[in-house]
Amino acid sequence: MKKALMLAAIAGLLMGSTAVAQDSIIGFDIRDGVTDGQIIPPTGVGADTEFPWTNGQDVGEPAVNAGGFGDGVIMRITPDHGDTFETDYPDSWPNFDGDGDSSTGQMWLYATVYDAAGCTDDVISSIGIDIDNQDDGAGGWNRIESMTFAWEAFTSDDTNEGTVDGASDASDPPDWDGCKLVKVPVETGPIYATGDGLVPGADHRIGKLTYTGGERTCPTPSGDPAFEDDSTFAVYLEVNNLLITRTCDGDSHNPEMVQFGYYPVDAPVNGSTMGAVSTDPDAYIVINLKGDNDKNGVVDNMDIPGFVAAKNASSGPPFLVTITQRPLFMNDFVTVAPPGDSQRVDNNDIPGFVDAKARGGLQPFPPPGNCP
């Protein structure tokens, strides 16, 4: 990944920085936080698998937060292949949405709220955000077909709470605007009450963002070394006109200083400033074919070493498994539930890789050949 998650800076900040004065964090993770293999942070080997989360995003890119929030901010999906390749391997990793289609994926929106000094019984009273997608490279190869966002049900299950999911625009790549959540901390009486609200002391899962990859685009038969970079999108959260605010019992706390994303590279933004956005992306979307280990948009013999390396990194007992997220996505075609090959690349995946090589190349050329 071009940014490589700014590993050196992140590691230093995670280990010792106290200068960041965030009141809350709002950020994405592809894990749902409750299902085996998706616990944040992982709590053990076996059903709740530590790897690849504790191993990092790619070879040479170690985990930034020991597998916790910040280590699941890149969502990888496939493009829409003309011969339904994206649905032929329905349980390939990660496909956490369970729809049997690797061209769709989901990211969960989380909020972590800290105690604010001098604020009693505080609760987040409003969140107004837009979700912006930008080409991370030069763009022009695989694209985002569509996206949706929805708040979690608990955020509006009280008469004093309300949400608006927002809507997508018609841009390329698309953005999602107008996500709004309001919490009025009052109940019958009327008395001050923060029940069911976003209060300090917990990580709250508050929304779900879904993406669908567009139709596969094809380079020349020899591929384009920048293909994956130019099929990658940076995701930014932006404060909209509802703003992001906190209410206290008999007091006020504004502005709310919000850190977007769970790896603290950027300073927090002012939640009372419409248009406030992080300097660096809060998440990434990568759209590429499974099996394309060398990132050039073509699956061919040059990708075999990457498959072998992923298989070797998956072997042995759990404490020896070194597989990272990108090689696992690229080379896992059949995921067997524990005690099988859960979140590993092994002999079960060889037929899938051979098939990907047969269908992911560009012969005969010129297109359409095997494209899209």
Quick one: pLDDT at residue 30? 96
Quick one: pLDDT at residue 264? 65
Quick one: pLDDT at residue 118? 81
Is the whole-model pTM more than 0.85? yes
Residue 160: Cβ-neighbour burial (10 angstroms; 0-12, 13-18, 19+): middle
- Write out the two tokens for 128: 């107004």
DSSP class per residue in 101-148? -TTEEEEEEEEEEPPPTT-SS-EEEEEEEEEEEEESSS--SS-EEEEE
Residue 368: Cβ-neighbour burial (10 angstroms; 0-12, 13-18, 19+): exposed
Pairing of strands 283-287, 74-77: parallel
CA distances from 5 to 134, 231, 261, 293, 353 (A): 16, 17, 11, 19, 28
pLDDT digits (tens, 9 = 90+) for 140-169: 899 999 999 999 988 877 778 899 999 999
Q: Cα–Cα distance between 319 and 215 in angstroms, integer?
A: 39
Low-confidence ranges of the chain (pLDDT < 50): 2-20
pLDDT digits (tens, 9 = 90+) for 210-226: 999 999 988 877 889 99
SS3 call for 213: strand
Quick one: pLDDT at residue 318? 74
pLDDT digits (tens, 9 = 90+) for 291-315: 999 999 999 999 999 999 999 999 8
The 10 Å Cβ neighbour count of residue 229 is 18
Compute the chain's Rg from CA coordinates.
21
